[in-house]
Amino acid sequence: MKKILILTTSTGEGHNQAAKSISSTFEKSGYEVITHDFLKSNSKLLTQLFVKGYEISASFLPKTYGFAYKLTDKSFTNKLLSLVFSFTKIKINKLIQETKPNIILVTHPFAVNIMGSLKRKGINIPVIVIVTDFKAHATYMDKNIDAYITASENTKLDLSNRGIDSRKIFSYGIPIKDEFFENRLDIKNSKTDDYFNILLMSGSMGLKNISYVLKELMNNSNKLRITVVCGKNEKLKENLLREYTNTTKNKKLHILGFSRDIDSLMEYSDLIISKPGGLTVSEAISKKLPLLIPFAIPGQETQNVEFLTSNGYALYIDNLLEINLIIDNLISNPKELEKMRLNLANLSSLYSKQNIVNLADELVIKEF
């Protein structure tokens, strides 16, 4: 049986979700899968520094995070990280020697640095990197990596322009759950009323910005069914439930916490309003669900906004007071939504988790 080692960690939930999703596809294809959190399992200090640091800065100091992201988007960062991860590299190397995988897959850029260094030191196991955003940070760049999986041709071009051999780059999409590739007619046919269905999501960390978005939407004159997903932020959920105890004319409001049924909620929706995290965006793309972006964490998410809006996949607003004007326009002009759906369908047609497995098979055979 072929064996794959998947390296991931928890700076944002997208990396782990991508790892979990692609692992199930490899298992179905006959691989033995070993998933390893390379920070949590090797260094409590680095876990606190990077994981908790990301959560705090992204949630409470977004401008600082954005500045740091831009500052570190340079080649010198990889040299610095190589020193920071010196001990982690030793432990990963030991894990590789013990588990003897046929191929290694990486869903986090910091692990790219580790595996690039180990390959330079003689490890000849093929390594595939999944880029979990629509533009690659410098920490993804390493010419010793055997293959890159990107979310779009634009991402492929970006990597190529930064020195990665285009023959190593494949636009198969960020791995997501199989459910997001299914079109469920039972849900589609259940839309029997004339309400416009909006899915309002806050990301896995439950950013409280959505409370301001919801306040504006509740003042919209159209008939709206609004489903709010608060993620892991229970306090946000409790505050919203307490604030919206009374019914409002022409509004149907559903406030949820963490949900495992996002695919069903997307299937039922006409529009998603969310921050543009790579995983959420990929899920919406697979569901051909147009996006409205009212806020983004500076850094990779603002780069995601640039990609999505310039290609007709999403709309962005930097003034919440204008959100109802956009909603009104989309309801009055359904062709605008349909145009976005067609653009999303063209992009999602490139996505294939099975192609990632097929690529791994080819690299394993090539190595032998």
Q: Where are the domains of the chain?
A: 3-173+351-367, 182-348
Six token digits for residue 147: 């293959």
Number of other CB atoms surrounding residue 135 within 10 Å: 21
Residue 199, CA distances (Å) to 67, 184, 264, 268, 328 in order: 30, 17, 11, 9, 16
Using one digit for the tens of pLDDT, what is the confidence trace for 235-251?
A: 889 999 999 988 888 99
User: Do the domains spanning 3-173+351-367 and 182-348 agree at the CATH topology level?
Assistant: yes
User: Backbone phi, then psi, for 159, in 5-degree steps?
Assistant: -65, -45
Residue 111 — pLDDT band, cuts 50, 70, 90? Answer: very high
- Residue where the block lists tokens 């959560």: 55
Q: What are phi and psi of 305, to 5 degrees?
A: -60, -45
Tens of pLDDT, residue by residue over 120-152, are 998 999 999 999 988 888 899 999 999 999 999
How far CA 234 is from CA of 11, 204, 238, 244, in Å, comes to 20, 11, 6, 15
Q: How far is the C-alpha of 220 from the C-alpha of 328, rounded, in Å?
A: 8
3-173+351-367 belongs to which homologous superfamily?
Glycogen Phosphorylase B; (3.40.50.2000)
Mean pLDDT rounded to a whole number for the chain: 88
DSSP for 344-358, written as a single string: HHHHHTT--HHHHHH
Neighbour tally for 222: CB within 10 Å: 16
Instruction: Note the CATH number of domain 182-348.
Output: 3.40.50.2000
Cβ-based neighbours of 315, under 8 Å, separated by 6 or more: 290, 291, 292, 293, 309, 326
- The pLDDT of residue 336 is 94
Residue 34 has pLDDT above 90, yes or no: yes
Rounded Cα–Cα distance for residues 34 and 207 (Å)? 32
C-alpha 265: how far from chain center: 17
Most confidently modeled of 7-11, 52-56, 201-205? 7-11
CA atoms of 302 and 16, how far apart (whole Å) = 21
Residue range 71-93: mean pLDDT, rounded: 83
State pLDDT tens for residues 282-327.
999 999 999 999 988 888 888 899 999 999 999 999 898 999 999 9
Q: What is the pLDDT of residue 206?
A: 46
**Cα(140)–Cα(78) distance, integer angstroms:** 9
8 Å CB contact between 242 and 235: no
**30 burial level (CB within 10 Å; 0-12, 13-18, 19+):** exposed
Confidence of residue 186 (pLDDT cuts 50, 70, 90): low
Q: Which of 273, 293, 299, 316 is nearest to 57 (CA)?
A: 299
pLDDT over 80 (residue 202): no
Q: Which residue is listed with tokens 């965006």?
A: 281
